[in-house]
Amino acid sequence: MENHGVGSWIYRRRLKSAGRTALVFQDRSIGYTELNERINRLANALRSRGVRHGSRVAFLGDNHPAFLETFFAAGTLGAVFVPLNTRLAPPEIRFALEDSGAAVLVHTGALAPLARRGSDRTAVELRLEVADGSEQEEGTTAGPGTVPALDFDSVIAAAPPERLDVPVGLEDGAMILYTSGTTGQPKGALLTHSNLAWNCYNVLVDYDVSMTEVALMISPMFHVASLDMGVLPVLLKGGTVVLESRFEPGRTLAAIEQYAATYISGVPTTFQMLCEHPDWDKRDLTSLTTITCGGSAVPMRVLEAYEARGLSFSNGYGMTETAPGATALPAARSREKAGSAGLPHFFTDVRVSGPDGEVLGAGEVGEIHIAGPNVIRSYWNRPDATADAYADGAWFRSGDMGHFDDDGFLFISDRLKDMIISGGENIYPAEVEQAIAELEAVGAVAVIGVPDSRWGEVPRAVITVREGYALTAEEVQEHLFGRLARYKVPRTVLMVSDLPRTASGKIRKAELRRRYSD
């Protein structure tokens, strides 16, 4: 076989896992044999319409089997897959399509209006619409530069099922993921087939994924963590992936019980919403063996709620550019090393460096650098950004601050750009946020720096309060006095109804500063 990339995985799996279920969506099971045939047909359909090695194929939609069929079909042809964030506005969709030069856009029916507006006057020559039973909005007709859509399933049904074996190398581009940069336009991280494969190897080693795994995917696959830490490793092993189009706490708890899910991943907010749901104590969760969490440390009260059910977290750290895993905290040490991002993944190296590039020792805070075969080598069409992204030619500069403890466990201080400098003292918002999160009344919290005439800037806490609870600014500050140095205690505390978040649940600090820095 000449295809050595991820596009060959399901074809290779079809015999090893014949008769086994690959995907479950809306209670419909799709076996590895059926999935392989649909991928083959889609690859043939795309090739007959001009898609070749190196072409870019974009997808816009919530979790759906068509996402993975498009991903693997693109990989079959050596084309580059471009997943798009469903929360983007039409100009942002247009930017990603124009920047990547995508010639094909596959999208779900629910997002047809966004797809039409976003692809208008771009290089998109083929648009495929996945029927999902959604009703079309009025007033969203295609613009003069928008190509008409073909029906996704009809295109697949009309194409031949034979396998195409196109030469694809491990160092060829497999996927462009646009990072949610806080300044300027997003950058497209170019992940190779090798990056994706080595990230999967890390997951298989450190999370002990098995062929009997049932992974419940509640986070959107257009985010690198959901696709690369959950879906791809499980399919590589021949397990089953249950796709949920959107996260809803009650539905998630029911699905864990219904499918006897063994593997689930999310962010702290996800898991907090689950354990605070009225059905938390009513559902059978005993099938769960692996719970992975990224984005930030899990609050202690959430950790304790899961421990009471016999469940432990494996916290992790990474980013789009590391495909995405960099470190993982073993579940067995989640309490002992609470707040830690864990140890470097098996095939990944992590160091902490000072401002002059010197490697720092345990307890010293510096910038986190990452190296390994899972780390990207370039941004799409951005040689300037690529050149700035590496130290010593090989170490990716994360832009995050952190330190190792004496046992080699990594602790994240904060984003370098989010660090607050007050009167010459460095304040890491994550440290303050973790302390505030100890308060039972706190639903979510973010700490930002705001201008101050005397100190340059001072910390401000922005908090949402849990339903049925009350909290004052004075209570928050009183809780922190004695726990933190006084200069770290927020001078002001704002109570708000919600915090701006990304689709994966992370708080958008840049948006928060725009709203509440005055």
How many structural domains compose the chain? 3
Q: Would you say residue 36 has pLDDT above 50?
A: yes
Please give the pLDDT value at position 180. Answer: 59
For residue 249, cis peptide bond before it (omega within 30 degrees of 0) = no
Mean pLDDT to the nearest integer, 317-335: 94
Please give the pLDDT value at position 139. Answer: 43
Clarify whether residues 434 and 509 are in a common domain: yes
Clarify whether residues 503 and 444 are in a common domain: yes
Mean pLDDT to the nearest integer, 188-202: 98
Q: What is the pLDDT of residues 80-129, one digit of tens each?
A: 999 998 888 888 899 999 999 999 999 999 999 999 999 999 999 999 99
Q: How would DSSP label each residue in 300-348?
A: HHHHHHHHTTT---EEEEE-GGGSSEEEE--GGGTTTTTT--BEEPTT-
Mean pLDDT (the chain, rounded) = 92
Q: What is the pLDDT of residues 203-245, one digit of tens each?
A: 999 999 999 999 999 999 998 999 999 999 999 999 999 999 9
- Residue 502, in any domain of the structure: yes
Clarify whether residues 233 and 145 are in a common domain: no
Question: Phi and psi dihedrals of 73, rounded to 5?
Answer: -65, -40
Of 311, 330, 359, the one marking the end of a domain is: 311
Clarify whether residues 51 and 163 are in a common domain: yes
Clarify whether residues 46 and 142 are in a common domain: yes
> What is the model's pTM?
0.85
Clarify whether residues 146 and 256 are in a common domain: no
More confident of the two residues 155 and 303: 155
Least Cα distance to 266 among 311, 332, 322 occurs for 311
pLDDT band at 136 (very low <50, low <70, confident <90, very high): low
CATH classification at residue 453: 3.30.300.30
pLDDT band at 141 (very low <50, low <70, confident <90, very high): low
User: How far apart are alpha carbons 448 and 496 in whole angstroms?
Assistant: 14
Question: Long-range contact list for 185-189, CB < 8 A, 24+ apart?
Answer: 185/95, 185/99, 186/92, 186/95, 186/96, 187/379, 187/380, 187/382, 187/385, 188/82, 188/96, 188/99, 188/100, 188/379, 188/380, 188/381, 188/382, 189/320, 189/321, 189/376, 189/379, 189/380
- Residue 408, in any domain of the structure: no
Mean pLDDT to the nearest integer, 426-447: 90
Q: Would you say residue 425 has pLDDT above 90?
A: no
Please give the pLDDT value at position 297. Answer: 73
Clarify whether residues 163 and 264 are in a common domain: no
Q: What is the pLDDT of residues 257-267, one digit of tens each?
A: 999 999 999 88
Clarify whether residues 132 and 239 are in a common domain: no
Of 258, 293, 311, the one marking the end of a domain is: 311
Residue 252, domain extent: 208-311
* Greatest mean pLDDT among 179-183, 405-409, 421-425, 486-490: 405-409
Q: What is the pLDDT of residues 378-406, one digit of tens each?
A: 999 999 999 999 998 899 999 999 999 99
Question: Phi and psi dihedrals of 224, rounded to 5?
Answer: -60, -35
